Amino acid sequence: MRTKRLPLTLLVLILATATVGASYLFVTNKKPYTTTSTPSTPTVSVTPERTIYPADIGETFAINITITNATDLYCWQTGLNFNATVLECLSLTEGPLLKQKGNTLWVNATINNTAGKIHYHAAALTGNVTGVNGNGPLGTITFKVKDYGNSNLQLTEVILLDSQLTSIDKTLIHGIVQVRIPGDVNGDQIVGVLDLTSLGKAYGASPGSSNWNPEADVNGDLIINVLDLAILDKNYGKTV
């Protein structure tokens, strides 16, 4: 089986946290979309997986990189590709999952907003401890809106290691974000009569209502009312 070298930053973390004695680690060359029938296989995902975000240019929002079904997770790394025409990445910060076991080491790698690439960031526990079990956020990525449109959020260079420095198999779930003009309920890149009609049909609704339409909840306060109508009215006629 072919193997590949670990990135230098992740190797530094392993050396910094390893106990006395030699350890040898081989990471198999897995495809980005790994599938398995084992229920306990951890899943690393962009959360939320699909985001429709009514936003003005310059607004910021955040998504999480989360893991479910983690077992003995001691160290992780991930990067991410995005559409640099639509989004600018401001930061990737470490989440709280590993920290519940103790101190961590954090490698804050580079972000290329021209190419739309977040190069691998990494976190590892310290000392001779077991890894973390369960679910939770590995990291949080903050973006700024540059333009309206769609951006795939593709996880890259994902590696999970247990406390024996053994590679953990995983499933990846990538994400997508659609940045719309506030009031563009149907996503056709113009705020017009079709959006007004959609909002009207859902007017007064909240989650659980038979006519609830989350895309008509323009301001995200979980009720469709005059505040959403005011935003639509302000942007009526705008187009991408």
Phi, psi of 15 (to 5 degrees): -65, -35
Instruction: Answer whether residue 187 is part of any domain.
Output: no
Which pLDDT score, from 0 to 100, does residue 27 have?
A: 31
Q: Among residues 180, 206, 227, which one ends one of the domains?
A: 180
Phi, psi of 237 (to 5 degrees): 95, -10
Determine the 3-state secondary structure of 233 from DSSP: helix
Residue 146 and residue 79 share a domain: yes
Residue 139 and residue 22 share a domain: yes
Residue 65 and residue 25 share a domain: yes
Instruction: Answer whether residue 171 is part of any domain.
Output: yes
Domain that holds residue 204: 193-235
Which pLDDT score, from 0 to 100, does residue 78 have?
A: 96
Instruction: Answer whether residue 105 is part of any domain.
Output: yes
Residue 230 and residue 129 share a domain: no
Task: Point out the residues of the chain with pLDDT beneath 70.
Answer: 1-39
Residue 102 and residue 40 share a domain: yes
Which pLDDT score, from 0 to 100, does residue 13 have?
A: 53
Which pLDDT score, from 0 to 100, does residue 146 have?
A: 96
Which pLDDT score, from 0 to 100, does residue 10 have?
A: 52
Residue 76 and residue 50 share a domain: yes
Residue 41 and residue 8 share a domain: yes
Instruction: Answer whether residue 188 is part of any domain.
Output: no
Q: Which residues pair with 173 in a beta bridge?
A: 45
Q: Among residues 180, 204, 220, which one ends one of the domains?
A: 180
Residue 208 and residue 174 share a domain: no
- CATH number, domain containing residue 225: 1.10.1330.10
Which pLDDT score, from 0 to 100, does residue 63 have?
A: 95
Residue 174 and residue 59 share a domain: yes
Give the helix ranges, DSSP H, for the chain. 8-17, 193-202, 226-235
B/e letters for 173-206, b = 16+ CB within 10 Å, e = fewer, are ebbbbbbbbbbbbbeeebbbeebbebbeebbebe
Residue 211 and residue 106 share a domain: no
Instruction: Answer whether residue 186 is part of any domain.
Output: no
Number of domain units in the chain:
2
How far is residue 124's CA from residue 8's CA, in Å, rounded to a whole number? 14
Global confidence as pTM: 0.76
